[in-house]
Amino acid sequence: MRLQKFTPQRIWILIGYAAAAAALFSAPLFVSDFRLNLLAKFLAFAIVALGLDLIWGYTGILSLGHGIFFGLGAYAMAMYLKLEASGGKPPDFMGWSGLKELPLFWQPFQSFWFAVAMGIAIPALLALVLGYFTFRNRIRGVYFTILTQALVIITTTLLIGQQAFTGGTNGITGYSTVLGYAIGSPETKRVLYYITVVALIAIFIFCRYVIGSRFGKVLRAIRDGENRARFIGYNPAIYQMVVFTISAGIAGVAGMLFVLHVGIISPSMLGIVPSIEMVLWVAIGGRGTLVGAALGAILMNWAKSEFSTAYPQGWLFFMGLLFVVVVVFLPKGVAGLVSQIKFRKKRREPNHEGIRNPAV
């Protein structure tokens, strides 16, 4: 990374990072196995939120199809886990769907590392192909968003329809071991938790690096004025394509971790509602700030698992209203609110990082 002066603020920031990392690493000492498992799931969601923030907060592309990329990563890992559980024989759901032989495309998923590679590569490739066509044809803004919804419907309908190959609505569940270790044992779960923390931190640093680089500056230029960026001589399509691919790959990583923690993936996790919920986390935490996005994901999911049981009806009311309030009155989310309050005291500065595109 670039060399920068160590101003007092910067030192405080570093201390803040260190404290957060320390808190995450020491969490297993304080919380029960069940809670740790939940926390690990939230951290996986935080990873998707980071990827989503990269394209929405920093590039201004709203994808309502990130559930697909998350899900594809998850399915890759689930296929490996299922094959390990069945010892390489066709898994149970193929049996009750009338399939006797393991299909060819399932075969290589017996290898853990192949599955991991595919968990990142398949979502990334799909995003690359989709991005290549749509961005090159200058489909953007609202149109892109609606297209991603169509893609969600295509993917879920296919996954559900091809029950013999994908497990249908049930999805894929019933795993026993990962690389030979029992997936349910507290020790394995603890190790998986640490892996998730490391992945989150690594991806966080990677995203910081991306937005700090020249590439990241161009992304923000595209967000604030796509045509202006084009006239200066950048080709926005290439930048959008690349960042969309990166974001999809990150979602794939999150999906793989999700399956390891939760033990099931089903098409319902790829649907329109989860995809929009992911956007909600970023919106509430604060788009355009990585910390905000990650925190939004963790807090929203924590709140959901705490309150949705006690007030299953009230929870949906609350979530809907929260969505409205945040989008209308706090376009930069909670993270934006904090800095806003502080800044207002000093001076009312123009909104130079504006999310809104003045021309549309």
Least gap, CB of 340 to another protein (angstroms): 9
Does 125 interact with another protein (rule: CB under 8 A)? no
Answer for the pair 203, 46: CB distance below 8 angstroms, yes or no. Answer: no
Number of other residues whose CB lies within 10 A of the CB of residue 320: 10
Answer for the pair 248, 121: CB distance below 8 angstroms, yes or no. Answer: no
Does 316 interact with another protein (rule: CB under 8 A)? yes
Give the closest residue to 138 by CA, choosing from 238, 228, 63, 65.
238
Tell me which of 117, 129, 150, 191 binds another protein, using CB under 8 A.
150
Least gap, CB of 31 to another protein (angstroms): 4
Does 93 interact with another protein (rule: CB under 8 A)? yes
Report how many residues bind another protein under the rule CB under 8 A: 117
245 vs 289 by CB, closer to another protein: 289
Q: What is d(CA 40, CA 110) in angstroms, rounded to the nearest whole number?
A: 25
Determine the distance from the C-alpha atom of residue 281 to the mean position of all C-alpha atoms in its chain, rounded to a whole number.
10
Residues comprising the chain, all counted: 360
Does 107 interact with another protein (rule: CB under 8 A)? no
117 vs 209 by CB, closer to another protein: 209
CA within 13 Å, CB half, 186: 8
105 vs 349 by CB, closer to another protein: 349
109 vs 175 by CB, closer to another protein: 175
Does 110 interact with another protein (rule: CB under 8 A)? no
Does 210 interact with another protein (rule: CB under 8 A)? no
Q: What is d(CA 346, CA 263) in angstroms, rounded to the nearest whole number?
A: 50
Least gap, CB of 82 to another protein (angstroms): 11
Least gap, CB of 309 to another protein (angstroms): 5
Least gap, CB of 281 to another protein (angstroms): 12
Which among 86-94, 103-111, 213-221, 233-241 is the span making contact with another protein, rule CB under 8 A? 86-94
Q: List binders of another protein among 239-298 (CB under 8 A).
A: 262-266, 268-269, 272, 276, 279-280, 283, 286, 289, 291-292, 295, 298
Q: List binders of another protein among 172-201 (CB under 8 A).
A: 173-175, 184, 186
155 vs 245 by CB, closer to another protein: 155
Least gap, CB of 349 to another protein (angstroms): 11
Two structure tokens written together for 328: 């209308």
Burial code of 120-130, b = ≥16 C-beta within 10 A, e = fewer? bbbbbebbbeb
7 vs 113 by CB, closer to another protein: 7
104 vs 328 by CB, closer to another protein: 328
Does 103 interact with another protein (rule: CB under 8 A)? no
Cα 113 to Cα 30, 61, 259, 266, 293: the distances in Å are: 32, 32, 15, 22, 29
Does 24 interact with another protein (rule: CB under 8 A)? yes
Which among 15-23, 114-122, 232-240, 249-257 is the span making contact with another protein, rule CB under 8 A? 15-23
